[in-house]
Structures are given as C-alpha cells and as structure tokens.
Amino acid sequence: MAEPLVAERVADQDARDSLIVLQGASWADYQRILELRGEHASPRIAFLEGALQLASPSRRHDFVKSMLGRLVEAWCMEHETDVTPYGSWTLENKEAERGVEPDECYVVGDDPDPTQPDLAIEVVITSGGVDKLEIYRKLGVREVWFWEAGQLSLHALRGEAYESIAASELLEGIDLAQLLRFVDVQPMTRAVRAYRAELQGGGAKDH
C-alpha cells in the first residue's frame, strides 16, 4: 500500500506567498497535479524525490521575477547577447524524480530546439519548501540565480555539483549590483529606460 501523502504548509504572512509541501508523493501524483493545473499560472509545482511542492506566488514575488527578467533582457539587448526567454518552462526528469518551473529561464545563444534552459532565475520570498538547487542539479541547468531580500546569489554547475560564483559566466560582464538598483523602479518601462541609459553611459535621467 502506498504511503499516505503528508502535507506541510510554509507561509509568510508579510509576503503572502503560500507553499504546501506534500511528502510521500509519487511521480504519478506529480503528473496528475500538472494535468489538473493545466495552463493556469498557479500553483507553481516542483517535485523532488517524493516531495511535491505547490506554490502560490504573492504579487511581490511575481513583480520581482518579472522585473528581473525585463532587466536581464535589456542588458542582453544592449550587449548584443542572444537569449531566448522561456518563462516558467516545466522541466522534468522521471528517472531522477525531479521537476520544477523556474520563475524565469533563458536559453543563451542560438538553439532552435532546446531541451532545457541554460539559465534559471528563482525569487525567494518565503523560506522553506523543497531544495530547488538540488532539482536543477540533476536537470543539468548550467547556471541558477536566486533573488532573496534584494540580493542575488549565483550558482554554476561544475560536473555533478553547483559552485557559488561571484559573477555570471553565461552573461559575462553583467553588473548585477547595478541591475538590482532598478528592480523596484516603477513603472517597468521607466526602469528599463533608465537602466539602458546607464548601460549606454547616458545616466539614469528618469530614474
């Protein structure tokens, strides 16, 4: 008889993110939840060796992830770096019992039929939940960024393990401290204009 699913709830009242982790889930359970969720944006679903996480991101969470994405894309435009955005692409590996949906993800370079992204970005508002870096490790994503409390931590895959890195290796030369100054500028169009002006050496006139 299959072990019963045990739910753990992780919540942060201030951020209003909501996470539920079901322990003892099977791969079939994970696939069924994906099927039931369908094309809806929420909940975000992650799976790690029997732990099934359902996340309902807060407005703050989705704001930050969208701003990071738009600013990264602006940097790529200014530096003629080819990237293709894939948003919350569902990444999964049945044999490794892992699945995840990044907040943002990108293929770097010209790959018309990618099997996985090169770069994944995760926004951490609520602590706890499954170890997403461990999920990405077996999925083979080359670089993962975590935003938390206004800072970015970067991890590069070295063989079978991730190593913390001080600067992006995929987007070589990007100044993340500079980029982070624009994350909370609203509206988004003003933030991107100001950021691009700085990148061009013209200053942030409307920032």
Residue 112 confidence (pLDDT): 86
| Domains: count for the chain | 1
Average pLDDT over residues 89-105: 97
Task: Give the containing element (helix H, strand E) for 166.
Answer: none
Q: Is residue 21 part of a domain?
A: no
Percent of the chain with pLDDT over 70: 89
Backbone φ and ψ for 11, nearest 5 degrees, come out as -140, 150
Neighbouring-strand partners of residue 20:
9, 54
Which has more pLDDT, 105 or 11? 105
Give the residue among 177, 122, 178 at the shortest CA–CA distance from 145: 122
CA gap 164, 173 in Å, rounded:
17
Q: Is residue 67 part of a domain?
A: yes
Backbone φ and ψ for 199, nearest 5 degrees, come out as -65, -30
Residue 128 confidence (pLDDT): 87
Residue 122 confidence (pLDDT): 98
Q: Is residue 27 part of a domain?
A: no
Tokens found for residue 34:
């994906």
Tokens found for residue 60:
């703050």
Q: Is residue 1 part of a domain?
A: no
For residue range 107-144, what is the model confidence (pLDDT) as tens digits?
999 998 999 999 999 999 988 899 999 999 999 999 99
pTM above 0.85? Answer: yes
Q: Where are the beta strands (DSSP E) in the chain?
A: 6-12, 17-23, 44-48, 51-56, 83-85, 91-93, 98-100, 104-108, 119-124, 143-148, 151-158, 161-165
CATH of the domain at 79: 3.90.1570
pLDDT at residue 9 greater than cutoff 90: no
For residue range 160-180, what is the model confidence (pLDDT) as tens digits?
999 999 999 999 999 999 999
Residue 137 confidence (pLDDT): 98
Average pLDDT over residues 45-72: 97
Q: Is residue 20 part of a domain?
A: no
- What is the residue type of 176? L
Is 125 strand, coil or helix?
Answer: coil
pLDDT at residue 13 greater than cutoff 90: no
